[in-house]
Structure 1
Amino acid sequence: MPNDPFDILGLEPRFGLAEDQIERAYLTRIASAHPDRADDAPDLGRSADLNEARRTLLNPERRAAALLARLGGPDAAEDKSLPDGFLMEIMETRNEIEQELADDPSPRTRAKWQARAEQQRRQYADRVSALFDRAAPEPGDDPDPAALREIRTMLNAWRYIERLIEQLDHDPARADFGP
């Protein structure tokens, strides 16, 4: 893959990368591709690729999607599956949030829902991590197609949680819920 963020930063393709590993790899490579040192346009493009690879790998959801693509799993456009009952659950949650914020638009109410959504984010990250371990337990193993499909299903649900977190943002200029 020409724009594979793991290859661009020279990192082992795995979900459980630490933030400091990503930063070190990025800083090592960006130093040689800095625009002040670049004599031609391809080096400027390399800086942009390095920046995008860093952004992708620092975001666990995006990192998981990149790893899934690398392993040959389905992308979100071709597989929109969700866990059983998830859509109803997220619709009920959104309704509860809207009602609570209408009754009490205080930062405390918003923070409560933000904390719940962030807990769900952590749960999805843990599930996806375990699924990646199951999909290809050893480097070089052929990935398990069923595990890859299950990862896509979890990532689709995780995207809903990320969107919920974005909508709960405390900045009224960016938030979608309530006043």
Structure 2
Amino acid sequence: MSRYLVAIQEDEQKWIDMAEGANEALENHYRFNIARADAVIAGRALQPSSTATSLRADDTGGAAVTDGPFVETKEVLGGFYLIEAADDAEALEIAREVPAPFGGLEIRPVQDFGGPTRPPKEQADGLSSYVVLLYVDEARSATMTPEERQDLLARHGAFQAGHDASVLIGDALQQRRT
């Protein structure tokens, strides 16, 4: 089975205003989780984009911190599901059931680096959950040497190992298909 990220991109103001259809959509998410429990690995709704903080690499090798989402658009990442499916067709079949009344979905396969897949861990009581999204320059990523790619994978592995108590699940997405 392959893993896919189903990113829910919606007009968050409609959720904030609890626009018509919002309560029904919440109920439909609940029903989706029950109906697709065999495929859903993880899924969460996100706090409004106004609560986001972004880090961007700077020229000194550090990171500049800014308030707000990485990209400002009308439709923002409002939630996600990490699912397992046999192939792209099954992933799309499952994704069609995800309620997104105020926007749409992006379905991306998760990269398989050949290592063991770690099941998501349970969140410790009293802690808040955060989603850390890594934005990549796909043109630069496509030109990486095998050594650079291996170094990057090692650094991600070290990050997860160093923060094992905090990282519930982590995966890389495949590049967008054109």
TM-score band w.r.t. shorter chain: under 0.3
Q: Greater strand share, 1 or 2? A: 2
Structure with larger RCO (C-alpha < 8 A, sep 6+): 2
